[in-house]
A and B are shown apart, each in its own frame.
Chain A
Amino acid sequence: MAGAAIALLAIAFQIVYLPTRVFFLGLAGIYSAAPFVAVALYTFSGNWVIAVLGAAIVCIALSVLMEWANHAVLSRRNASDAAQLISSLGIYIVLVQAIVIVWGNDTRTLTSGVQNVTTFGDVFVTSAQWTIAITAFLLLAIFSIFLMRSDLGLRLRALADNPAQFMLLGKSSSAHRLLAFAFGGLFAAASSLVTANDIGFDPYIGLHAVLLAVVAVIIGGQSSFSGPVLGALLLGIIRAQVVWYMSARWQEAATFLLLAVFLLFKPQGLLSSKTRLEALQ
């Protein structure tokens, strides 16, 4: 189930990275903020639907704001990839520290009490895990239909494929970039909220989650939207196996060892045509 949540976040990262080549670490700040905003809205309104929708809207707004005020400005100045990455890291730090200052740095939960459990033989699935699986499946299915069938989806893919050609055809690159960031914010919020509902949250979860998502993107393949989903599911399974056979303490080491192996031996990922590594830069 963790794999499904990673898949959502990996798509959030990928939909920004492919068209804009921005290594969007600000996503980690959005991921951290989503459950805090949801809880604040719930305390205010007393309605979970309003809280969740409100948190999603705030996350989309944050993401679009980051593009409008930071990444788009740097892109117009032809700033380097490193400048985009470092400014994004700066935004992440600012957002997380702001969360800590406003809400404190305790670990919290979205729901309390015992969850309903469904059993299939030896397998136990809690209601929160069902929420992750169903949300991820629905969002990914709708997104893939949108991407493959709609005109807007086609234009997003075109922008990802060749930004210069896209602009030569008279399309607005900046408007479509904003759209990509909006999708990024939405998927990050979804991933964050379903995970927080399952295992709780604190202000520092974002960067770790985004790093896992990036590992999933690299394992699955950086040039497509299906690769990251496959990578995320594989990563979820491998991490669960490490906990089962060794210990949760070695989860991170195993994850990043896997990343190192892929970077060295199959840098184009599982679902990619063979390209020279230098071409990926």
Chain B
Amino acid sequence: MDYVLHLLIYIAIYGIVALSLNLVVGYCGLLTLAHAGYYAIGAYTYAIVSLKLGWEFLPAVAVAALVAAILSLLVSLPAWRLRGDFFVLASLAAQTLIASVLVNWFSDSAPFGTWSNLTNGPIGITEIPAPTVFGFKFRTTISMAVFTSIVAAICILVLWRLKHSPWGRLLISMRDDELAARGLGKNTRLAKVQAFAISSALVAVAGSLYAAYVHYIDPSSASLDGSILMLSMLIVGGLGNFIGPLAGAVVLVALPELLRFLALPDTQAANIRLLIYGIFLVLFMHLRPQGIAGSYRLK
């Protein structure tokens, strides 16, 4: 039973990740590879605030979301002028900068959480507390599963409301024809900054949930592999609606579990999983570019 709940927690976390990434890739048409960076920023901020200041989950997550939203300017400002392959590169630059700062904001001589050793470098942060809300601590797996599902539902509701607002329609019009949207007097630059800020804030929430569940975070969570996994979810599931990204999250979280039944050697299981992700990316581009249930194809 715990195993099923564990899967449910991961699906909820990656559901938030995929839907928040869909906001920029699916609704703005901007392919970003920096998403894992913001996920890690959320996880680190939550870990530092809850460990060092002893804050509860909600204020700690609010700080994490705020930090990620502000730092999303690293990607959204280049998005003002860059499109296509060059924007992908700029996002990769942001991702590398974030990962590099997480690894290097570290000193052997200073204790963790101080100005000269904020992130504990390659060692990562351990003993991150389980989430506490109004004095109630979510210690057991079942309470954690309920909690992550509620948080995921709130995030989906927020995104749903945004998509069906005039602002959501502005994003779609900007994706389909930016010049026309600007010609109609819409501020597309502001819309991009807002979309990236909201998307990064939401993925920071997912990162905080992950840190609170696993009780550990290290810089590998900000790696390019992480961003590729997140992107694979969208490519496999589909872009531009709500079903697609959720389907992608379920498929890519379930896939490693299915592979367990094949009794692959432990040393190669991770590599075979990545190999299958790679094959997915190629096959989907050839056979079904819009993904399983998507309603938009990347340009």
| Chain B proximity of A142: nearest CB distance (Å) | 29
Within the assembled complex, what's the spacing in Å between the Cα atoms of A165 and B94?
Answer: 38
Task: Please determine whether B97 and A257 come into contact, CB atoms closer than 8 angstroms.
Answer: yes
Count contacts on B: residues with CB < 8 A to the other chain.
Answer: 43
Cross-chain pairs A/B with CB under 8 angstroms, 26 sampled: A73-B286, A74-B285, A80-B289, A81-B84, A81-B299, A83-B297, A91-B282, A93-B278, A97-B274, A97-B275, A207-B224, A249-B103, A250-B100, A252-B100, A253-B100, A253-B104, A255-B96, A256-B96, A256-B97, A260-B78, A260-B93, A263-B86, A264-B81, A267-B82, A281-B83, A281-B86
| Chain A proximity of B200: nearest CB distance (Å) | 17
Within the assembled complex, what's the spacing in Å between the Cα atoms of A94 and B276?
Answer: 8
Task: Please determine whether B272 and A97 come into contact, CB atoms closer than 8 angstroms.
Answer: yes
| Chain A proximity of B209: nearest CB distance (Å) | 27
Q: A82-B298, A93-B275 are in contact. Are A259 and B100 (CB under 8 A)?
A: no
Within the assembled complex, what's the spacing in Å between the Cα atoms of A81 and B298?
Answer: 8
Q: Which residue of A lies closest to B74 (CB)?
A: A260
**Chain B hits for A90, CB < 8 A:** 277-282, 285
**Chain A hits for B83, CB < 8 A:** 281
Q: Which residue of B lies closest to A211 (CB)?
A: B92
Q: In the complex, which residues 228-257 of chain A have their Cβ closer than 8 Å to any Cβ of chain B?
A: 249-250, 252-253, 255-257
Q: Which residue of A lies closest to B100 (CB)?
A: A253
Q: Which residue of B lies closest to A280 (CB)?
A: B86
Q: A101-B275, A259-B93 are in contact. Are A83 and B298 (CB under 8 A)?
A: yes
Q: Which residue of A lies closest to B93 (CB)?
A: A256
Using a CB–CB cutoff of 8 Å, the interface residues on chain B facing chain A are 31, 77-78, 81-86, 88-90, 92-94, 96-97, 99-101, 103-104, 224, 228, 231, 235, 268, 271-272, 274-275, 277-282, 285-286, 289, 297-299
| Chain A proximity of B240: nearest CB distance (Å) | 13
Count contacts on A: residues with CB < 8 A to the other chain.
Answer: 42
* Interface presence of A277 (CB below 8 A): yes
| Chain B proximity of A98: nearest CB distance (Å) | 7
Within the assembled complex, what's the spacing in Å between the Cα atoms of A256 and B89?
Answer: 9
Within the assembled complex, what's the spacing in Å between the Cα atoms of A101 and B282?
Answer: 19
Task: Please determine whether A94 and B282 come into contact, CB atoms closer than 8 angstroms.
Answer: yes
Q: A97-B271, A211-B92 are in contact. Are A87 and B281 (CB under 8 A)?
A: yes
Q: Which residue of A lies closest to B106 (CB)?
A: A249
**Chain A hits for B299, CB < 8 A:** 80-82
* Interface presence of A115 (CB below 8 A): no
Task: Please determine whether A81 and B285 come into contact, CB atoms closer than 8 angstroms.
Answer: no
Q: In the complex, which residues 54-74 of chain A have their Cβ closer than 8 Å to any Cβ of chain B?
A: 70, 73-74
Q: In the complex, which residues 200-243 of chain A have their Cβ closer than 8 Å to any Cβ of chain B?
A: 207, 211, 214-215, 218
* Interface presence of A199 (CB below 8 A): no
Task: Please determine whether A85 and B88 come into contact, CB atoms closer than 8 angstroms.
Answer: yes
| Chain B proximity of A157: nearest CB distance (Å) | 21
| Chain B proximity of A214: nearest CB distance (Å) | 6
Task: Please determine whether B82 and A263 come into contact, CB atoms closer than 8 angstroms.
Answer: yes
Task: Please determine whether B86 and A267 come into contact, CB atoms closer than 8 angstroms.
Answer: yes
Q: Which residue of A lies closest to B33 (CB)?
A: A89
Q: Which residue of B lies closest to A277 (CB)?
A: B81
Within the assembled complex, what's the spacing in Å between the Cα atoms of A95 and B272?
Answer: 11
Partner of A79, one of B86, B103, B281, B285: B285
A-B pairs with lowest CB-CB distance, top 3: A90-B281, A93-B278, A82-B298
**Chain B hits for A147, CB < 8 A:** none
* Interface presence of A92 (CB below 8 A): yes
**Chain B hits for A79, CB < 8 A:** 285, 289
Partner of A80, one of B86, B268, B271, B298: B298
Q: Which residue of A lies closest to B298 (CB)?
A: A82
